[in-house]
Amino acid sequence: MERFLRSAGIVLVLLILQTTFIPYLSVIGFLPDIFLPWLIYVALRRGQVEATIYGFAVGFLLDITATKFLGLATLSKTICSFAAGYFFNENTTGQTLGSYRFVLIVLLCSFINDVVYFTVFFQGLEGSLIIHVLQFSVASTIYTGVISLLPMFAFSQKYSTSLAQS
């Protein structure tokens, strides 16, 4: 129960940050998704099923509070979290979280999330759908990947400290 309450508190803080503070960090109209590094963390620590459930819940909360297409963030976050669950390995969790592999997983899953989201979002838009989807997906993915460096450095410090104490 304590783990659930802690996770709910983290989601609430991230939701407030994503909807109020993060829009001020816009670079040429592109925003990072601060939920993705946390969902990847959940996938790497707790596995695919729990990450998929959290991805659904986070996406649903985003749909209710911030998006125009009800269900679109739910779909993209659920698929992204499910994909991230394939990288779960309880024997190497600390090493993965504290290394470049975490950022690579965030980049991959962010790209999956953005391609799903923008493919539906840009339906009916004039011009090439593929070009619009790739343009927005790549820019958003890179920005989210840069943001994911912060937790990676924190995890690397935590992991190196726990190894030094062993």
Residue in the structure block whose two tokens are 């979290």: 81
pLDDT tens digits, one per residue of 96-136:
888 899 999 999 999 999 999 999 988 887 778 888 898 88
If 0-12 CB within 10 Å is exposed, 13-18 middle and 19+ buried, where does residue 6 land?
A: exposed
Give the residue among 139, 131, 159 at the shortest CA–CA distance from 32: 139
Q: What is the pLDDT of residue 126?
A: 79
- 3-class SS at 30? strand
pLDDT greater than 90 at residue 58: yes
pLDDT greater than 90 at residue 82: yes
Q: What is the pLDDT of residue 116?
A: 94
Residue 165 banded pLDDT, cuts 50, 70, 90: low
The full set of domains in the chain, from first to last, is 32-158 (1.10.1760.20)
Q: What is the pLDDT of residue 84?
A: 96
* Mean pLDDT, rounded, of the chain: 89
Q: What is the pLDDT of residue 76?
A: 96
- Record the pTM: 0.89
- 3-class SS at 3? helix
Give the residue among 59, 82, 84 at the shortest CA–CA distance from 72: 59
